[in-house]
Structure 1
Amino acid sequence: MGSYIREEVRWFVAARAEGLCEYCLVHEDDTFFGCEVDHIISLKHGGTTEEDNLAYFYVFCNRQKGSDIGSILWQTGEFIRFFNPRVDKWADHFRLEGAIIEPLTGIGEVTARILEFNNGDRI
């Protein structure tokens, strides 16, 4: 399947997310640019355009993630995959402390850092 995401699939993914970015949990109504449907694992890394590989992203999160699938955990030098909203539970990897998203795991750490959850312009 190609990169084109059918309109009915976009609607399904947006409804499943209930208007929330599946990464930072900001509601689309609380953003200037809104949210969009995109691939969790990009096509160039073997991802598909199926519902289980699509997520609802705040535009800023999606631009920061790009086609990346993970990053290096600075503390260990190990490559760690990003949070995947289809297989991971948000509360296992992050905690909301006021307006700050605190990572709880390596997955949370690399996701929060690369997607810039706590960027001053976003808080």
Structure 2
Amino acid sequence: MSTTNNVSVPAATRRLVANRAHYTCEYCLAEDADSFLGFEVDHIISRKHHGSNHEANLAYACPDCNRNKGSDIASIDWENREIVRFYNPRTDIWAEHFRLVNGSIEPLTTNRKSNR
């Protein structure tokens, strides 16, 4: 069972999140079957920011995306000196904010930053 701040995400909830995402990282679109390392359930809003274990706050993530995002919910756009919230797979549409070009993720909008 996966834990965050000593609060476990139940196995049934982890399965629901993985199935909902079709075993694909909701941040970078990598497929779980293509990974040597197991994918993880990410708290979109981390427990330290009072995010819950509710399925609406959970995303299926590859280890790279989960580690790069960490418990952050935003970053700084240094060019505009603005705080920019991270992409949220529960409320945002991936194709409206990113595209794949030669195996790399490119942003389409300035108000969403890939965490990878």
Aligned to 2:26: 22
Richer in strand (by share): 2
Aligned to 1:96: 100
1:9-36: CA deviation from partner (whole Å, max 9, x where unpaired): 0000000000100000000111221311
Aligned to 1:48: 52
Aligned to 2:15: 11
State the identity as a percent. Answer: 51
The alpha-carbon deviation at position 45 of structure 1 amounts to: 1.2
Gaps of 5+ in 1: 117-123
Summarize the Cα distance change of 1:106–1:3 in structure 2 as closer, same or farther, 3 Å threshold.
Answer: farther
The worse-fitting range, judged by mean Cα deviation, of 83-92 and 27-36 is 27-36
Richer in helix (by share): 1
The alpha-carbon deviation at position 7 of structure 1 amounts to: 0.6
Calculate the TM-score normalised by the size of structure 2: 0.89
Calculate the TM-score normalised by the size of structure 1: 0.85
The worse-fitting range, judged by mean Cα deviation, of 42-51 and 52-61 is 42-51
Q: For this pair of structures, how many residues does the alignment match? A: 111
1:69-121: CA deviation from partner (whole Å, max 9, x where unpaired): 0100121010010000000000010011121111011343x32xxx33xxxxx
The amino acid that maps onto 1:53 is: N
The amino acid that maps onto 2:8 is: Y
